[in-house]
Amino acid sequence: MAARTDLFQSPDYYGVDELLTDEQKLIRESVRAYVKKEISPIIEDYAQRAEFPVQVVKQLGELGCFGPTIPAEYGGGGLDYTSYGLMMQELERGDSGIRSTASVQGSLVMFPIFAYGDEAQRKKFLPRLASGEWLGCFGLTEPDHGSNPAGMTTNIKDHGDHVLLNGAKMWISNAPYAQVAIVWARDEHDDIRGVIVERGMEGFTTPTTHGKWSLRASATGELVFDNVKLPKENILPNIKGLKGPLGCLTKARYGIAWGALGAAMDCYDTALRYSKERIQFDRPIGGFQLQQKKLAEMITEITKAQLLVWRLGKLMDEGKATPQQVSMAKRNSCEIATWIARDARQMLGGMGITGEYSIMRHMMNLESVITYEGTHDVQLLITGMDITGLNAFT
């Protein structure tokens, strides 16, 4: 397939750029330039072949996209949360699977080691993960327990100087290529604990998930543990219970709130350009009322979402953001991105389903993004419980 020229121009109808610092804009531009040079020309081909472009792992490490909010002493960027969000926006503008690789590494692998681990674990794992030397994955979802992680059956049992890990996780991004897995399991006291599983440990396998119509350029797999002998120094010491994995998911959902917005921007930008070039009935289709309605609604929703995630970034930096606020932003960005992709696809007619344009790939990817790290309905109920004080989950 011929490489596609990336002509993306970022929409900014309300001058949101004026709210960003020069450093934040520079970070965004560096990631945008990377996506245009390294991702856009190859990503359709990799998605069509359902193959993960493994070379991006090192590239993302060099660019500083792994754990950008982790302190520099551990290999992270020491950046603010708005900078992190802008990075995720630009990566997902290229492809949701590429952003997923970075989100998992930073929010679901590096963050728990930094927040819940000890100094030895931080020094051993974080610099290698930050540089892209190692890729990580996050094991929470199980074959029978997705939206209800409290039902997990994966377990660890004490055997003196080590524990034995048994169970399985599925729908795990990065799994087939990961050297490190952060896995959540029940101990004999029924406490949920986080453990660090390393590639090569006997009884640990990562079968690849085949046949996906979504996130085709991202590697997905299972984590299978058959009496995996795990040294006790691989247990995260500073956390017990569901608040451990849920704290990681809050960070990941924050990245998705920005990321899905990037996919929406790309679909809008593609449809806008096409509407000016495509001639039907002797005029550009952008001159027809129905097409202008679609475009006007797209830019309205993008603008509202830009302001929402920008404010959320400020709250994150101040340590004031609640998990419920993050859920609202994740849900909103995913919702607008999915319907913007669908409307943009319609505007391109038959061309919209081809790999010549990015829209259909975004559309399929977003069906995963709207589901993972908490489904669309679960995010809604998190907000509902927050405003009513009543739990609809049980």
Q: Which residues are catalytic?
A: 373
Q: How far is CA 34 from the centre of its chain?
A: 18
- 34: closest CA among 46, 43, 22? 43
Instruction: Find residue 198's DSSP bridge partners.
Output: 180
- Whether the CB-CB separation of 102 and 46 falls below 8 Å is answered with no
Distance CA 196, CA 179 (A): 10
Distance CA 346, CA 294 (A): 10
Identify residue 164 by its one-letter amino acid code.
L
- Whether the CB-CB separation of 130 and 76 falls below 8 Å is answered with yes
Identify residue 130 by its one-letter amino acid code.
A
Identify residue 107 by its one-letter amino acid code.
S
Distance CA 348, CA 333 (A): 22
Three-state DSSP state, 369? helix
Read off φ and ψ for residue 241, nearest 5 degrees. Answer: 95, 180
- Whether the CB-CB separation of 321 and 312 falls below 8 Å is answered with yes
Three-state DSSP state, 95? coil
Token code pair at residue 56: 């991006």
- Whether the CB-CB separation of 217 and 97 falls below 8 Å is answered with yes
Q: What is the DSSP letter of 145?
A: B
Identify residue 251 by its one-letter amino acid code.
K
- 58: closest CA among 138, 133, 164, 8? 133
Distance CA 74, CA 68 (A): 11
